[in-house]
Structure 1
Amino acid sequence: MASVVFMGFVAYVLSVASVSYQEDGTKRESLQVYAFNMFRNIVSQGNMMIVSKWSQRFLFYSWYLFCLVVSALYSGMLTAVLAIPAYETPINFLEDLPRAVKDGYTLSVMADSTNEYLFKEATEGIYKQIWPLFNHKDRPESFVSSPVIGMKRILERKYVYMGPYLVSRVIAMQMGDRKFYFGRQKFFPQDVGIAVPQGAPYKKIFDQKLLSMVEGGLIAKWQEDEVRKIPQTTSGQDESGSKISALTLTHLQAAMYTAAIGYVVAGVSLIIEKTVHFSFEIKDA
């Protein structure tokens, strides 16, 4: 918008400067008319003004090129943004992992953990299908020594870490919960038991109370309460380095150079026109 106003002002100044030697009776328009026509050009609505002086023509030519470059950049940027999906296809289930590997993702679990054992010792089904998809040539790449390493790698590249849900949630809250996506499927659930002496008379009471706590949702509530106590990082996914950005002056350098060249050529043409006009007036006198 600033370029439209500035260009309208420059065109108006040129018309005022050339009025002293205009002999064809061309009407000099107001500043508002020039600014409005500059706006029509940049939104591809054409130009309703007719100019007779070469200085004004050069100025309009450069403005047309400026509008063409800006329009092409904006259209290309808009097309690029619309062509990119807002979100990648999520990985929600174990059945999605083969497709994720084809898309360049690396699968990982804790080294020497029950999760590794689950995939390694599977004899059939989806677990057996997934085991060859791990990076066995570079074992530390797929079998990490701690959950923190696996979660950090998710932020660095295409990476899938499969580990204990609560531990992963805690780490995600510390690093920025919105930076991570947790799949909907929870597989290989593990229960935590309380060991008591064989034949203990209070075992049945423990079983009843613990079962009531689980079925009543107290365990899940306590888990969420503990997660909320963790200091959260508020940074979101928009800080992860999006490759699509708004147009800046760096992108518009070509258009700016074109407009600047047009200003120079128009100014030189104005000086030449005035010089030629006054030289003919002197000869006539």
Structure 2
Amino acid sequence: MCPQLPPSPPRWHAVFYPFNTITWSALAATLIIITFFFHLLISTDSSVVYNHKIDVVSTLVWMTRVLLSQAVPHIPSSPGTRPFLVCWWLMSLVLAASYVTNIIAYITVPDPPAKINTLRELANSIHPLYMGDYGTFVPRYLATSHDPVYRRLSQKLHLIQNYSEIKSYVLENNGAFIEGTAYMEYEISSWPVRGMYYLEETLFPYTTAWAFQKGTPWVDTFNRYLRRMVESGLVDRWRNEEILRYRKSQGRVTTKERSTRRRLRPLSLEDLQSAFYILGLGYLISTLTVGIEVAYNNHSNFRLW
């Protein structure tokens, strides 16, 4: 069993989610490089392209307009600029459309919090590992394993003498809990905590058996039919039905059952607050720019932008 799900990030972070870090970095680097080369192309252009003196910052702002779906009033007449702009504008339109569609998808159907899906991720996480001290098989199995992931799990494993105290240790330290799959699915239903989940990857497989007295003559016949029930999935189905019935009797349902009941909700101001943050940042930058220009104009005739 893995620790509780991490809290969802603030909704205003949605402005960064349409692209990953590598894409944002590549976009910024591409914009800077293209701005530099385009500035060299139009440095000899005598036509009016901007509303003020041509410089690198103005070129950067002008090149960014298409990314923000803003039209350009004039196009430079220097040779080679139009094919250059066609390629850049086509790329900008694709990026802008991808960003808008991705952010709409995230706002309407937000991604669930990131889970730990493998034992390697659990071993590399900061979460401690707990289990009841009822034998040395599992600790020795982890410590002597040839797999480095199992050895890392052994280093962060804590054995609890009193089994009834495991719940408090796990909840207070946001840790993970090692226990048999069937027992854990029953045990967790009595815990007053939601958001905990199971790691699908197991330490070692478990078997299902039917005990008979030694020398029973019909063992082979039972083995044949038991194997058919296991291979057909009947055993797993019966087990899941029993666990679901028990969890419902405890007032708790499984994650799969909750996920089928998708709750639709209207958009709120919290979903759109990133746009107001960007607007406020733009106003702040504009105010600072105006203040700097006014300060320079009061002391000289030089304009900064």
Give TM class, smaller chain.
Answer: 0.3 to 0.5
- Identify, as 1 or 2, the structure richer in helix: 1
